[in-house]
């Protein structure tokens, strides 16, 4: 079975690696943070001290980094990984990044005789842990067919969005909607709480009514309403406010490029930016609820 290199062992990369190991894969791992490499090693992955060492003999490389700048640096920089892979290798970038960077990476990869797909994910840390992620793939039909079996070992749905970059466009659309859902859910819950309603009771009412959405179903932002969500654990782990701001900026870039109006996305971006500059960028994005509660000192 193919040796896989996995680069980027953060909130998402660690559980994704764990699922590949569980599926019987040999997974060579690297992260800039040595503690992350040790965590992955404890789960059965092969620890490496550089990205170049991690891709040795690998025929599949998966990356899960924060930004397009990091992805471009990893693969295309002076000593980039593209120059260290044997022709024919498959590179799957699961990070959420600019569509143009994904397209550029695909072109450079092709020049090295490599297959590249953009494959950002939806489903959060819980989905990564449970192996139920949705992968949103951009690339040719053949590349999609090649990537699918590997991705299926970390997720439940592997969807082909279109050519290179299409996965990133679809992901930006999804996260614009997620950000708006989170902001609106925080707003509605805060309104009810300020009128004496119990958070769990109101959440169940919305869950059973027409205002139901993914946030209310899986990611309630009020501490204590759902047990296994960041809100009930000091908003630690999960999906950082910094990353949501990055994704909203990606959506704004796309909207400018196509002249598509995004007033809801702009409102959500303003709220998440305010929360970020107030010093909460490292918390999970559901901590936006605190922005609404601050007047009461919550």
**Binding of ligand NAD by 245 (CB under 6 A):** no
Q: Which residues pair with 27 in a beta bridge?
A: 4
- Residue placing its CB nearer to ligand NAD in the complex, 74 or 268: 74
CA 149 to chain centre: 20
Task: Provide the 3-class DSSP secondary structure of residue 84.
Answer: helix
Stretch that binds ligand NAD, among 24-32, 84-92, 156-164, 211-219 (CB under 6 A): 24-32
Q: Give me the catalytic one of 156, 157, 171, 246.
A: 171
Judged by CB under 6 A, the stretch of 31-39, 153-161, 226-234, 253-261 that binds ligand NAD is 31-39
Alpha-carbon Rg for the chain, nearest whole angstrom, is 20
- Beta strand 121-122 with 133-138: parallel, antiparallel or unpaired? antiparallel
Cβ 59 vs Cβ 90: under 8 Å: yes
Among positions 34-53, residues that touch ligand NAD (CB under 6 A) are 36, 51
Residues 6+ apart with CB under 8 A from 109: 75, 82, 91, 115, 116
Cα–Cα distance, 76 to 30 (Å, whole number)? 17
Compute φ and ψ for 26, nearest 5 degrees. -90, 120
Q: Does 223 bind ligand NAD (CB under 6 A)?
A: no
Size of the site for ligand NAD (CB under 6 A): 28
Please select the residue that binds ligand NAD; options are 18, 20, 21, 30, rule is CB under 6 A: 30
Is 115 one of the binding residues for ligand NAD (CB under 6 A)?
Answer: no
β-pair partners for 240: 284
Judged by CB, which is closer to ligand NAD: 70, or 205?
70
User: Is 171 marked active-site?
Assistant: yes
Active-site amino acid positions: 171
Interface residue list for ligand NAD (CB under 6 A): 7-13, 30-33, 36, 51, 64-66, 70, 73-74, 95-96, 121, 124-125, 238-239, 243, 247
């Amino acid at each position: 079975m193919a040796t896989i290199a996995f680069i980027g062992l953060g909130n998402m990369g660690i559980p994704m690696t764990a699922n590949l190991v569980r599926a019987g894969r040999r997974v060579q791992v690297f992260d800039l943070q040595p503690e992350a490499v040790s965590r992955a090693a404890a789960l059965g992955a092969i620890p490496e001290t550089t990205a170049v060492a991690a891709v040795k003999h690998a025929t599949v490389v998966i990356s899960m980094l924060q930004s397009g700048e990091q992805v471009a640096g990893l693969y295309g920089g002076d000593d980039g990984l593209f120059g260290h892979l044997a022709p024919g290798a498959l590179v799957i970038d699961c990070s959420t990044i600019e569509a143009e960077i994904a397209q550029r990476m695909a072109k450079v990869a092709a020049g090295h005789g490599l297959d590249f797909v953009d494959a950002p994910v939806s489903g959060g840390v819980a989905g990564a842990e449970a192996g139920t992620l949705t992968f949103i793939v951009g690339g040719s039909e053949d590349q999609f067919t090649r990537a699918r079996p590997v991705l299926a070992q970390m997720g439940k749905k592997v969807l082909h969005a279109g050519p290179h970059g299409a996965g990133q466009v679809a992901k930006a659309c999804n996260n614009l909607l997620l950000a708006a859902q989170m902001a609106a859910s925080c707003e509605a819950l805060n309104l009810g709480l300020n009128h004496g309603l119990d958070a769990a009771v109101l959440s169940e009412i919305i869950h059973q009514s027409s205002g139901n959405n993914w946030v209310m179903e899986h990611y309630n932002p009020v501490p204590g309403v759902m047990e296994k969500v960041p809100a009930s654990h000091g908003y630690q782990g999960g999906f950082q406010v910094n990353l949501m701001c990055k994704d909203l900026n990606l959506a704004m870039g796309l909207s400018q490029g196509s002249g598509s109006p995004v007033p809801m996305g702009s409102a959500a971006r303003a709220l998440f930016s305010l929360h970020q500059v107030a010093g909460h960028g490292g918390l999970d994005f559901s901590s936006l609820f605190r922005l609404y509660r601050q007047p009461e000192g919550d």
